[in-house]
A and B are shown apart, each in its own frame.
Chain A
Amino acid sequence: MAQVELSKVSKQFGATKVVRGIDLKIEDNEFIVLVGPSGCGKSTVLRMIAGLESVSSGEIRIGDRPVNQVAPKDRNVAMVFQNYALYPHMSVYENMAFSLKMAKESRDEIERKVREAAEILELTPYLDRKPAALSGGQRQRVAMGRAIVRSPSVFLFDEPLSNLDAQLRTQMRMELKKLHLKMNTTTIYVTHDQIEAMTLADRIVILKDGEIQQVGTPIEVFERPVNRFVAGFIGNPPINMLSATISGAGPGTMLAMGSLHLPIPPQPACHDGQRVLAGIRPDAIEIGSRLVGLRTDWHVQAEVVLAEILGGHSLLEFTVGDISMIAELEGRIIARPGEKVALGFDLDRLLLFDPQSGLALR
Chain B
Amino acid sequence: MRNHDRIKALCTLSPSIILIGIFVYGFIGNTFWISLTDWGGVASLAENPVKNFTGFGNYTELFAGFLGGSFRQDLVNAVYYSVSLLAGAIGIGLFLAVLLDNKPVGEAFFRTVFLYPMSLSFIVTGTIWRWMLSPQGGVNILPTYVGLDPLQFRWLSSTEAVMEFDWQNLLQIALYILAAVLIIWGLWQVKQQPRRAMSRLLVPGVVLGGGAWLGGDILPKALFMEEMHGFNLATLGIIMATVWQYSGYTMALYLAGFTGISQDLRDAAMLDGASSASYYRHIALPMVKPITISAVIILSHISLKMFDLIFAMTGPDNGSTGHPALNMYLTTFRANEFSRGAAIAIILFLIAATFIIPYLISSYRQRRIR
Contacts and interface: CB of A to CB of B under 8 A. Distances in A.
B286 A85 contact: no
B287 A73 contact: no
Nearest to A47: B267
Interface string B8-44: 0000000000000000000000000000000000000
A79 B265 CA distance: 11
Interface of A: 47, 50-52, 71-73, 77-79, 81-83, 85, 87-89, 98-99, 102-103, 146
Given A87-B283, A98-B282, A79 B273 contact: no
Contact of A102 (B267, B278, B286, B289): B278
B283 to A, nearest CB: 6
B262 A89 contact: no
Interface residues of chain B: helix, strand, loop or mixed (majority): helix
Given A87-B283, A89-B287, A81 B268 contact: yes
Contacts of B268: 79, 81, 85, 87, 146
Contacts of A88: 287
Interface string B304-338: 00000000000000000000000000000000000
A50 B273 contact: no
Nearest to A158: B264
Contacts of A72: 267, 270-271
Contacts, number: 57
A73 B273 CA distance: 5
Contacts of B270: 51-52, 71-73
B267 A85 contact: yes
B272 interface: yes
Given A83-B262, A88-B287, A89-B287, A77 B271 contact: yes
Given A81-B264, A89-B287, 12 more contacts: A47-B267, A52-B270, A73-B273, A79-B267, A79-B268, A87-B265, A87-B268, A87-B283, A98-B274, A99-B272, A102-B274, A146-B272
Given A89-B286, A89-B287, A102-B278, A83 B271 contact: no
Contacts of A77: 271
Contacts of A50: 267, 271
A99 B273 contact: yes
B273 A102 contact: yes
A71 B287 CA distance: 25
A103 B273 contact: yes
Nearest to B283: A87
Interface in B240-278: 262, 264-265, 267-274, 278
B287 A83 contact: no
A-B residue pairs, 6 tightest by C-beta: A102-B273, A99-B272, A85-B264, A73-B273, A85-B268, A89-B286
Interface string B221-246: 00000000000000000000000000
Contacts of B282: 87, 98
A146 B273 CA distance: 12
B286 A73 contact: no
Interface string B160-172: 0000000000000
B275 to A, nearest CB: 8
